Chain A
Amino acid sequence: MKLLLTFSKKKGREPVIAQVVKQTGVLISVERAHIDSVSGEVLIDVPDTDAREVCDLMQAKGVTVRILEHGVSLNEEECIDCGACVSVCPKEVFYMDEEYRLHLRDERCVLCGKCITACPHHALSQTL
């Protein structure tokens, strides 16, 4: 399950993720991180069964946690199956079938947004 963590400026200095890993023993993989001077946003992936525990502990440490149920979403009306999104995605979310129709494996998506700007037909969006 993917969790989007938002750190405030102060918390950003503490090794919260490392602390949670140590305390829970859950292996957290960091998929994407964006940290600037005001706040930080980190997308992590944890096994579904451990998500609750990680979530609670993160929140107790003052981190805002949001569960991301879906990756990027496709509007089939707008999509023309051009494929412009396919090669820009770092996670190989998109692929074409034999008939050159686009398919998504959205569970892989880390919501980096690259495909959203690359799609010439505004067919991709981020549902939050």
Chain B
Amino acid sequence: MTAPQVRESAAGLFRVDDGLGVWPHRGRVAAVGIGHSPTARRWDGAAETSIGAWTILAVRRAVADAGVDPAAVDVLVLDRHTTGGGSPWPEGAEIPREVAERFRPTDDPLDGVARLSPQWLLANLPELSGVKLVVVTTMCMSMALTAAIETVGRGHGTTAIAVKAWHNFPGRYGVRGANADPTVSGPAKHGVRGAGIAGANSFMNAMEFRRYLFKYGKSREMMAPFVVNSRANGLLMPEGYWAQHDPRPLTAADYLGSRMIADPSSLLDNDLPVHAAAAYLVTTAERAVDLRQPPAYVLGHAGSGVARGDRYDGLPYRSVVETLEESEAWAAATARRVYESAAVRADDLAFENCYDGFSFLHPFWLEAFGYAGVRHGEALDFYQGDIGLKGPHPVSPSGGNIGGGRTRFWGHTDSIQQIQQRAGARQIGRPATIGLSGGFMPYWSNFVIWSRDPDGP
């Protein structure tokens, strides 16, 4: 096996500009296989539960689920980072010897433990002997999956694995390093993105949501049905954190009684950091028809962000924090691009799996996409109606990050399974013909439109 080409940027693969029209590969790419590791709250230090081990497991399961010969996989798309920054490897801590000895190492002792290089993953997945191209992405599964879809669409490979993993080490998430210092440097001292001086990760979203409530005359209590529905759906996702470890439904009273973190954002508006990995197998429409699972065709994809050359970032805020007006404008522009790419309209959607970590992001996306005819300022009213799996407009059938833990991939898994009609107890009542999944935030996102029919509606 010759070493694959490694592209360290996926910037050129994202459709973040206006006016790109219909996706040229509409209906010609499909997701088929899904692989998940178990989901843990934190890593227990064992070799077989290390994030590297669980990523290997997820990839193997995705390949087996699709019924593809592992040697046929020719593209690997991954993110080297396995934390958003909240769970760094404890300084000076030793890597358990059992872990170091279990896997084929790279020069980086934290590879497979606190991060993931393509070299490590391929060395420990020797059966993926046909990988010719590795694409390194950043942030979320939405980016990795979209990059895999576009790569296959362009014909740079025929069978791609998109993988995303999140480790979570013992210790309180985020209460480490610079946060413990009496001084503050860098952008955090101005509160950029609500970090640093604001003192709560959910601050920015919380204050935007308060502005939303003010603008549209709504109340925070109106979020309760969404959070309750998310947990209920998440409990039907066997891979999710709550389903695996604490399968109790939530009530509206639980939500309203939940302790505040950054009021109006409570503990239950924040998604739980977890330790988990997932992989999807994406292939051409021609190959997909002969595989073990039915194809979930991609009609289009688009997102928000800045992609120039090899640079790929979120959209810059006008000032230190994102405003509601920026969020609404960016989300609306994203939705227009997504619909245009797929040549579908809001009323073609049978279900949606829009990003929800924090919970308050869901109404922003729901309104931008006009799901079920919901317009700006109407999402919270919409949540008071029938948003359940068997109703006319299922909301977040995956349960999202609120219902399954902070992985940012449940929505994609559910969308593919809904289209394939193998979502089990989560299978929506109406025919799952066309669906939407993606995230994360309005300033930086990728969404996919899925379809049972490669020709769309």
Q: Do A and B bind each other?
A: no
Residues of A within 8 A of B (CB): none
